[in-house]
Amino acid sequence: MKPVYPLNVKNSFLFNPSPRDFTVEEIPLYDFSGEGEHLVLKVRKKEMTTWEMLDAISNHAGIRRRDIGYAGLKDKHAMTIQYISLPAKLQERIRTFAHEKIKILETTHHNNKIRVGHLKGNRFEIRLKKVLGVQKDKLDSVLKWIKANGVPNYFGNQRFGTNGNNWEEGKKLLEGTLKMRDRKTREFLMGSYQSYLFNKWLAKRMEINLLLQEFSEAETEKLMQLPQGTLADTKTQPNFYKLLGGELMMHYPYGKLFAAEDIAKEAARFATKDTAPTGLIPGTKTRRAEGSAGIIEQMFDESIKLYGARRYAWVKVTEIEKRYIEEKAHYELSFVLPKGSYATNVLDVLRGEPL
């Protein structure tokens, strides 16, 4: 039976992204050695950004923020647990650190400074409220689908700022119509525009996947105004997300990038979660898809003088656990996503939102 995207299951629930109802915990890329010239702190924070947390610790320790290593940025509106590193000589000074929004849970040592991206993924714990009656059964059903199939790997809303329009300033910076002196803010905004283009591309691919559930390949090509034959050999693939000719794949959850030469064979491998398709984050020094996949990709490819990359278009959701508290109408769930993926993608599928 083919995996039909659960759009017909509209779920109504309340999710409040707050430290009480939303927890994110990093899963380190490796075990820390317990010795070495770097002090590793397991830190819990709430109601503050990672940058604000790093500033508080660096000010107390008397070092520059850039001297602290971290693996990733964590949501301000969640209770987050992450690992940071700083010179081991500061161990005694860190013992006296105290902050109402930050707690150091554990300390150890390691040979190397923690670098951005040095994590396997993140464990999310989420409490959904006002889950009444039949909604609980619907959520159970969609979670089962998610466990079997995965979710689209959009960049989350936090990438685009409170008003969702960071990318507009990023575009102006890249076009030269906006000037900004702060390098980190400038790079973040330009990266937001790259993320925006990736999301637009993924939305187009999702639209194709959804149409192929209802229409033939030829009919979908006409509806999407694609050249004849673009969607050849897609309808019979076992996955909801259909692979196209010229697709660039990567081994999952990390591995080498390669071109899909035999689409039927790669669709079968994708079904086993051994590989996954990738999308383009536009920029320099990154490989482009060819063939039919390249036709779609070119619609959202721009000349951007930043490094580009490939990003998984589709990711697995693992270690899913759920608990329903009937008297409170709370639906509590936890799951693990690979690094760079957002819990909002899981929530969108649970709500029955298509794109």
Catalytic site positions: 75
Angle (CA) 60 112 116, round 5°: 75
Name the residue among 184, 159, 162, 189 with its Cα closest to residue 173.
189
* Phi, then psi, of 66 in degrees rounded to 5: -70, -15
Count CA atoms closer than 13 A to 324's CA, side-chain side.
Answer: 14
d(CA 186, CA 184) in angstroms, rounded, equals 5
d(CA 198, CA 286) in angstroms, rounded, equals 14
Measured from the Cβ of residue 170, the count of other Cβ atoms closer than 10 Å reads 25
Distances (CA, A) of 303 to 193, 205, 230, 296: 12, 21, 24, 16
CB 5 within 8 A of CB 354: yes
- Concatenating the DSSP letter of every residue in 29-89 gives SS---S-SSEEEEEEEEESS-HHHHHHHHHHHHTS-GGGSEES----TTSEEEEEEEEEGG
Positions of E strands within 290-329: 309-312, 314-315, 318-325
